[in-house]
Chains A and B, each alone.
Chain A
Amino acid sequence: MSIIRYQFPQVPNWSSSDRLASLRDEVNRLFDFSWPSRDSGLFSGWSPALDVFDDKDNLVVKVELPGLNKDEINISLDKGVLTVSGERKQEHESKEGESFRSERYFGKFHRSVTLPATVDSTKVSASYKDGILTVDLPKAEEAKPKQIAVNVA
């Protein structure tokens, strides 16, 4: 069992300080762990992959969430932090039959990302297709790049 989501070496733009911070959080949580509670991210957590794209007028956040229902996904935006959370429930009873391989995650997930620009929270939209959640966040007027004409006197 890995403690943090494995980061593949070819992934660019991954700040190592984030990774260290998340490892530190996980280790801290490990010491807080007590048996009856299974809320700890280390034991029941699932950290779906999240991407952030920036075109001139919009931010686009994509999260890989295969096999959920639309209403099992919660999205919230608070002070420039976008949070995607929810829970994937195990669909079938595993009592009958024997499990040979169990790699898929079930349970709660929670991802937050600080958006790199101010967005217009009234215009945010989201779609869920082929197991990928796409959140479109139009930038607020003041965050859009502007062309400033230089007048030569």
Chain B
Amino acid sequence: MNATLNKPTSSTDVAQNGANRVNYVTPLANILESKDGYVLEAEMPGVNKDGLEVIVENGELTIVGRRAVAENRGREVYRESRAFDYRRAFELDPSIDTTKITAKIDQGVLTLHLPKAEAVKPRKITVG
């Protein structure tokens, strides 16, 4: 597999932030490749447009999702979800045109379209 659009991360990422350790939840992701580019879907329930950050830097794509502040709903009786913010980094395939990446989030699912640069798209050359 030559596409390097993934970087394995543990299920809970721990980023070193000065003296404070910050815990993150790694969102579940699907990546699909077509001839025009890649589609990345990541699950971030509780995150809306305002809490979303998509950073492209040094050939790496980082997605950060901050949960909309939930009002305190009383005492926790039972809890399975984790209240941490989401974070995950992916290594970008060099064929991706980083200026044309688009993102949308709908009901907690982030969808990124990562088109390939024109130069690397497969082209059919007809013999004249």
Contact = CB atoms under 8 A, between A and B. Distances in A.
B43 A97 contact: no
A99 interface: yes
Nearest to B41: A104
Contacts of A52: 76-79
A8 B6 CA distance: 23
A50 B82 CA distance: 10
B47 A67 contact: no
Nearest to A115: B77
B29 A132 contact: no
Interface centre among B34, B35, B77, B109 (most CB of A within 10 A): B77
B53 interface: no
Nearest to A12: B79
A49 B43 contact: no
A75 B32 CA distance: 32
A79 interface: no
Nearest to A5: B80
A96 interface: yes
Contact of B5 (A7, A53, A94, A100): A100
> Would you call the interface of chain B mostly helix, strand, loop, or mixed?
loop
Interface string A49-70: 1111111101110101111100
Interface centre among B38, B41, B82 (most CB of A within 10 A): B41
A139 B12 CA distance: 36
A130 interface: yes
B43 A67 contact: yes
B109 A131 contact: yes
Interface centre among B28, B41, B45, B79 (most CB of A within 10 A): B45
A49 to B, nearest CB: 4
A5 B80 CA distance: 10
B1 interface: yes
A66 B111 CA distance: 12
A100 B46 CA distance: 26
A3 interface: no
B102 interface: no
A31 B58 CA distance: 50
Interface of A: 5-8, 10-14, 49-56, 58-60, 62, 64-68, 92, 94, 96-105, 113, 116, 128-132
Interface of B: 1, 3, 5-6, 11-12, 28-35, 38-39, 41, 43-48, 68, 73-82, 106-109
